[in-house]
Amino acid sequence: MKITTLDTGFGGERTTAAYLVESADGLVLCDTGAGPKAPDRILVGLDARDIVGIVLTHIHLDHAGCAGELMRRCPNATLYVHPRGARHMVDPSKLIAGAREVWGALRFDALYGEILPVEASRVREVAFGAGAGAFGLDFYDAPGHAKHHLVAHDSESRSVIAGDAFGLAYSEFEFSFPTTSPVQFDPAAMTSTYEMIASLKPSQVFVGHFGAVLDVAERSESLIDLVLRIVAMAVNHHADADCEQAIAESLKDLVRELNSAAVERYKVDCEINAQGIVHWLNSQAG
């Protein structure tokens, strides 16, 4: 299948992707971006009636924020979501409350705009495993970044659409970095998911932020190494007076080590990732 990277514009240019999959059953969108401008950017040059499916890698709003609006504009589409995420697309109030906590209410409204619900009759919970999916795509459970995360595999083109389950990889740099944003970061599940994706032996992994990663085996190994280093670093900082700030700075140091020119690009991610790591540390401490 042909898979095309679409720039939703969310968070800046070439920052948050959606993907257009040309399946034998019709056009399928994978992820939606967020914010008032994303739907127009995604649908430019397309007839919305040709979209038969919208698949969400996970329901964090930078990936799923425009699902309601796009489902409204695409009358023939069915929404495919992880079983743990489906009910939150029908009633997004919890998602909105969670994202407001991460971003702050004012910043949230400016960034995300209005989040519309999706009619329950148009939402399908995906089935996992080879041959069980939809539109020729196989879906696999992919926890670690979020418990409601899936990846989509096209065995024909040997492609995986991975959302945030295969790290951040802004395309102007040649490295990947784990994304540990709140509130379900699970290091062990995250490394297992990296291994699972690599075991599919894809020739390309399309990540949400941003574009295609081609050296999949090497990236998987470096991502696993980075998760182990991040966990060790975080545990060392847990007793610090401002542990979130200290972890954010250490994450920036890690990015600097990978490419000193990338720190500014990953700055916001490091800060959000630090929040998720502190949440995880606190949950471990019970």
CB 262 within 8 A of CB 236: no
State the minimum distance, in angstroms, from the CB of residue 62 to Zn ion.
4
State the minimum distance, in angstroms, from the CB of residue 55 to Zn ion.
15
Q: Which stretch binds Zn ion (CB under 5 A): 22-30, 81-89, 93-101, 208-216?
A: 208-216
Pairing of the two strands 123-125 and 129-134: unpaired
Nearest residue (CB) to Zn ion, 62 versus 69: 62
Q: What DSSP letter does each residue of 125-170 carry, written as one string?
A: EPPPEEEEEETTEEEEE--SS-TT-EEEEETTTTEEEEETTT-B--
Number of residues this chain uses to bind Zn ion (CB under 5 A): 3
Nearest residue (CB) to Zn ion, 141 versus 164: 164
DSSP H or E segment with residue 280: helix 267-285
Report if residue 208 touches Zn ion, rule: CB under 5 A. Answer: yes
Nearest residue (CB) to Zn ion, 5 versus 155: 5
CB 160 within 8 A of CB 205: yes
Which 151-170 residues touch Zn ion, going by CB under 5 A?
Answer: 164
State the minimum distance, in angstroms, from the CB of residue 163 to Zn ion.
7
Report if residue 31 touches Zn ion, rule: CB under 5 A. Answer: no
Report if residue 269 touches Zn ion, rule: CB under 5 A. Answer: no
Nearest to 11, CA basis, from 30, 31, 38: 38
| Count of C-beta atoms within a 10 Å radius of residue 272 | 18
Nearest residue (CB) to Zn ion, 7 versus 62: 62
Nearest residue (CB) to Zn ion, 138 versus 164: 164
Report if residue 62 touches Zn ion, rule: CB under 5 A. Answer: yes
Say how far apart CA 225 and CA 155 lie, in whole Å: 27
Q: Which residues bind Zn ion (CB under 5 A)?
A: 62, 164, 208
